[in-house]
Amino acid sequence: MRRIFLPVLALLFLLSACGSPSGAQPSQDPSAGAAGALERYDASFLTLFDTVTNIVGYAESEEAFSAAVQDIHDELEEYHQLYDIYNDYEGLNNIKTINDNAGGEPVEVDQRIIDLLLFSRDMYEATGGAVNVAMGAVLSIWHDAREYSIDNPEEAYVPELDELESAAEHTDFDCVVIDEERGTVQITDPQASLDVGAIAKGYAVEMVCRGAPSGYLVSVGGNVRPTGPKPEGDGRWVIGVESPDGGSEFLHTLYIEDLCVVTSGDYQRYYVCDGVRYHHIIDPNTLFPSDYWRSVTVLCPDSGISDALSTALFTLPQSEGQELLERFGAEAMWVTPEGEKFYSPGFEQHIRS
């Protein structure tokens, strides 16, 4: 296996040109004609959505692969900046701009923000409020507690319930006014704010992958979406589902071809206070981290829906989650705090090991 270090913009992409399995020939893209066999490559970078992006793809050359990865990266970066709630970008109105103008005049925004918020409203209604991007007032309190407690573990603290309840009075999605004709968004409650973290990654991955070359597998922070069948073997990709307990062992490996895989769990963004783990997935009913599950993995053809469902199911009992899955034609695996696994009726048919 050759490793090639290739600068792309300000990033350093690691491209790995991998030969075919022993005794096999590189697969041929039927649309490539006489252009030759396809080789497998992969790339990783760390600059988008505060997480790791991994891309695997099959191309005729390193140059073709790196050009496709560049395009995917650039489009994802645009979505990252548009949906950012923490940073400003010169000449760009983003989600942070909308939050900064809460209680003021409507903000003119890119159509991709309008589309995300319309999708978010649909998922808010479909999940009965389990996914609510207008919960920024509550989530910001937990974000500040988590960041401070990670940096100062000896002073770790848990937000007070009365502070959370006061913030929860400013989480009504109706205060988010979306004017499609004028291309504006207005938050009418000056104490409300948007936090699209539960939905933005999956939605952005879906939008970008719809226009990407076939035969690629894109993973952004665990939001995994194929752009088409794997161009070798039987066309199925093999995806590992991480164990909440860490280590090198997967809970399962899955076969997928046209499904997205998204996992929500309590084991990535969390802090510990007085021996108790406080993770980032907040139950809108209790205003505290949900304690039904350690992880929920969703399989669905649409990455944005998968992302929203994985968050919603994490905050719901299994029976209510199953009703949501059936509405969207999705499957799921739930893992309890004790490590027991439960499956929706069609999930197990995708298990490889």
Q: How many CB atoms lie within 10 A of CB 335?
A: 22
286-289, long-range: CB within 8 Å, 24+ apart, which pairs? 287/138, 287/161, 287/164, 287/165, 287/168, 288/164, 289/142
Q: What percent of the chain has pLDDT over 90?
A: 86
In angstroms, the CA 193 to CA 143 distance is 13
Q: Kindly report the pTM of this predicted structure.
A: 0.89
The candidate with the shortest Cα–Cα distance to 298, out of 272, 335, 269, 268, is 335
Amino acid at 134: A
For 302-317, what is each residue's pLDDT tens digit? 999 999 999 999 999 9
For 145-203, what is each residue's pLDDT tens digit? 999 999 999 999 999 999 999 999 999 999 999 999 999 999 999 999 999 999 999 99
DSSP state for residue 168 in the 8-state scheme: H
**C-alpha count within 13 angstroms, C-beta hemisphere, residue 109:** 30
Q: Which CATH architecture has domain 258-270+279-353?
A: Roll (3.10)
CATH 1.10.3980.10 fits 96-187, yes or no: yes
In angstroms, the CA 217 to CA 350 distance is 17
Residue spans of alpha helices (H) in the chain: 62-82, 95-100, 111-126, 136-151, 161-168, 200-209, 303-314, 318-328
- Residue 308 makes CB contacts below 8 A (sequence gap 6+) with 123, 127, 131, 198, 199, 202
Domain limits, the chain: 1-83+197-235, 96-187, 258-270+279-353
For 49-91, what is each residue's pLDDT tens digit? 989 999 999 999 999 999 999 999 999 999 999 999 999 999 9
For the segment 269-294, the average pLDDT, to the nearest whole number, is: 97
Give one DSSP letter per residue of 245-270, joined into a string.
Answer: T-SS-EEEEEEESS-EEEEEESSSSE
- Which carries the bigger pLDDT value, residue 37 or residue 130? 130
